[in-house]
Amino acid sequence: MSAPPRRFDHTGLQILDDDECLKLLSSVPVGRLVFTLGGLPAVRLVNFYVDERTVIFATADGDKYRAAQRGDVVAFEVDTVDPDRHLGWTVTATGHLSVVDPEEVAVLERTRPIRAWAPNRDRHLIRLAIEVLEGRRLVAWAQRPHPAEDERR
């Protein structure tokens, strides 16, 4: 069975499928949580792990925790870039945040402990349920389609 043909967007970036996005999402230790704070976008670096189609973060009482309590829609982004070779990828997961139930926290802590970077006194786990998953890869010039080829697709 042959691999499906690679798809590219109008800028020449390779469009990644959900399986590849989840694989890449799980491959890095740090990402950026984008949420609303006082009506404006806020971005926080977080360490995390992926559990099927959810992303789990540890946090203290604060802005991220309140966003989870409200069930806010957020974005989460991870990437890798090699500026010397002009290669890289980015994956963005979008969905609703929620607070992980305390009983489930105990199970998760035993199976996939996550260590917060800051010494949080009131530690909670929050979850991003992935509703939309998008990824792009910057590939080598020789692997990109010619612009005329894109117009014929």
70 φ/ψ angles, rounded to the nearest 5 degrees: -80, -15
* Closest to 55 measured CA to CA, from 134, 123, 130: 130
Q: Is residue 71 part of a domain?
A: yes
Tell me how many domains the chain contains: 1
User: Is there a domain that residue 1 lies in?
Assistant: no
- pLDDT, tens digit (0-9, with 9 covering 90-100), for 66-115: 999 999 999 999 999 998 888 999 999 999 999 999 877 767 776 776 66
Residue tagged 């491959």 (tokens): 27
Whether 86 maps to a domain, the answer reads yes
142 falls in which pLDDT band (50, 70, 90)?
low
Residue 99 lies in a domain: yes
Residue 130 in contact with residue 60, Cβ under 8 Å?
A: no
**Length of the chain, in residues:** 153
- CATH number for the domain spanning 102: value is 2.30.110.10
Mean model confidence pLDDT for the chain: 86
Confirm whether 58 is domain-assigned: yes
- Sign, Cα dihedral of 119, 125, 126, 127: positive
**Dihedral pair phi/psi, residue 111, rounded to 5°:** -90, -35
Q: Please compute, for residue 18, the number of CA atoms within 13 A of its CA located in the half-sphere on the CB side.
A: 8
pTM of the predicted structure, to 2 decimals: 0.83
* Three-state DSSP class for residue 91: strand
What is the domain extent for residue 74?
A: 9-144
In the chain, helix, strand, coil percent, each to 5? 25, 45, 30
3 lies in some domain: no
Q: Is residue 149 part of a domain?
A: no
In-domain check, residue 98 = yes
- For residue 147, the tally of other CB atoms under 10 A from its CB is 9
| pLDDT above 90 for 122 | no
Model pLDDT for residues 20-67, shown as the tens digit of each residue = 999 999 999 999 999 999 999 999 999 999 989 999 998 888 999 999
Q: What is the pLDDT of residue 102?
A: 84
